[in-house]
Structure 1
Amino acid sequence: MRVLVAYASKYGATEGIAQRIGETLRGRELEVDVAKCGDVAEVSGYDAYVVGSAAYEFNWRKEARKLVEHNTDQLAAHPVWLFSSGPLGTEKVDKEGKDVLQGAEPKQFKQYADLLHPRGTQVFRGAYDHDKVHGADRIIAWMPGIRDAMPQGDFREWDVIDTWAMSIADALGAPAGGR
């Protein structure tokens, strides 16, 4: 079974998540291609899709939105899973007591629900390094108060990512084993 794991990443954290999902699925004897959304010229020929993006201001990156919106019929005709990354830190709930990961869901999860009927959606924690920020983000990141307010570090929970990827492999009927 062929699976496409497509991602849109700005600073590499989401790419790392996509690569890990791909490795986990390969470990379950699935044939997997992991590619940047902007590099995917053709989505036909796959039996399942995992599409993810970093989220900024509750939106996926443009490349991920374009991939889905230009290939809705093809994606909807197969099993599809969606993921997002972005929340920083380790807090489980915000100041109002709401789940941090649920609160970080991108708008696209709702927008694509009726179009794609995804078998699952997942928000993963991201990573942030002040020194890797560039372009317009650099100006914002260096504003007084913002730099100190942004938790710095790698907050990706690899066990959560592996468990989610294994659930995809299970749903696709992949042989047991792997991580």
Structure 2
Amino acid sequence: MNETVLVAYGSTNGSTAEIAERVGEVLSKEGLTVDVRSAARVADVTPYGAVVLGGGLYAGRWQRDARRFARRHRKALAERPVWLFSSGPLDPSASERDIPPAPGVRRVVNRTDARGHITFGGRLEGEVKGRVARMIVNSGKGGDFRDFEQIAAWAATVAHDLRGPDV
């Protein structure tokens, strides 16, 4: 595949953005041309041959920018290969088992005919936006539960799918 892959993300406190950056790094190392951008800053997906879209989970819903991106580009996404990821569990569960997509994300999977979805652990620590997020951090229930080896392995499978078996 010679076209650019868009890795778009919806992130409030930066954790999902960092996951998207890691996905982009792996895709680049695998020989793909990649553009990593905030979902809110993508006006058009037609220049991209494939899309990876990720969103942080907040109370079981994808972050607003990821939801809006999926809705705004619904038709164009259905015309190209798409992979989705979520980030959010503030425990090690995402590294221990497959977590199915939240109901709203499942609808995006179906509407875009996504080739795959995965849920990664999230990060919530330090100075965070949002009253509920601050309450979680202040109660000691925050932390960083992202597994960057798992993220890299998943991104490598996306790259393999895009390049095809003969590369």
Fraction of identical pairs, as percent: 35
**5+ unaligned residues in a row in structure 1: which ranges?**
94-98
Instruction: Indicate yes or no: 2:110 matched with 1:110.
Output: no
Equivalenced residues, count: 165
Q: Rate the CA distance shift 1:3–1:24 in 2: closer, same or farther, 3 A.
A: same
1: CA distance, partners of 2:134 / 2:147: 29
Instruction: Indicate yes or no: 2:140 matched with 1:137.
Output: no
Once the two structures are superposed, residues 65-98 of structure 1 have per-residue CA deviations (whole angstroms, 9 ceiling, x without a partner) of 11111111111100000000001122479xxxxx
Compute the RMSD of aligned alpha carbons: 2.4
Letter of the aligned partner of 1:155 in structure 2? F
TM-score, normalised with respect to structure 2? 0.88
Once the two structures are superposed, residues 148-178 of structure 1 have per-residue CA deviations (whole angstroms, 9 ceiling, x without a partner) of 3x1x32211011101100000000016999x
Partner residue of 1:31 out of 9, 12, 33:
33
2: CA distance, partners of 1:134 / 1:173: 39
Once the two structures are superposed, residues 32-81 of structure 1 have per-residue CA deviations (whole angstroms, 9 ceiling, x without a partner) of 00000111111111100000000011110111111111111111100000
User: Does the CA-based 8 Å contact 1:5-1:51 persist in structure 2?
Assistant: yes
Once the two structures are superposed, residues 18-45 of structure 1 have per-residue CA deviations (whole angstroms, 9 ceiling, x without a partner) of 0000000000111100000111111111
Letter of the aligned partner of 1:133 in structure 2? V
User: Does the CA-based 8 Å contact 1:2-1:31 persist in structure 2?
Assistant: yes
TM-score, normalised with respect to structure 1? 0.83
Q: Rate the CA distance shift 1:11–1:49 in 2: closer, same or farther, 3 A.
A: same
1: CA distance, partners of 2:51 / 2:71: 14
Partner residue of 1:159 out of 145, 149, 165:
149
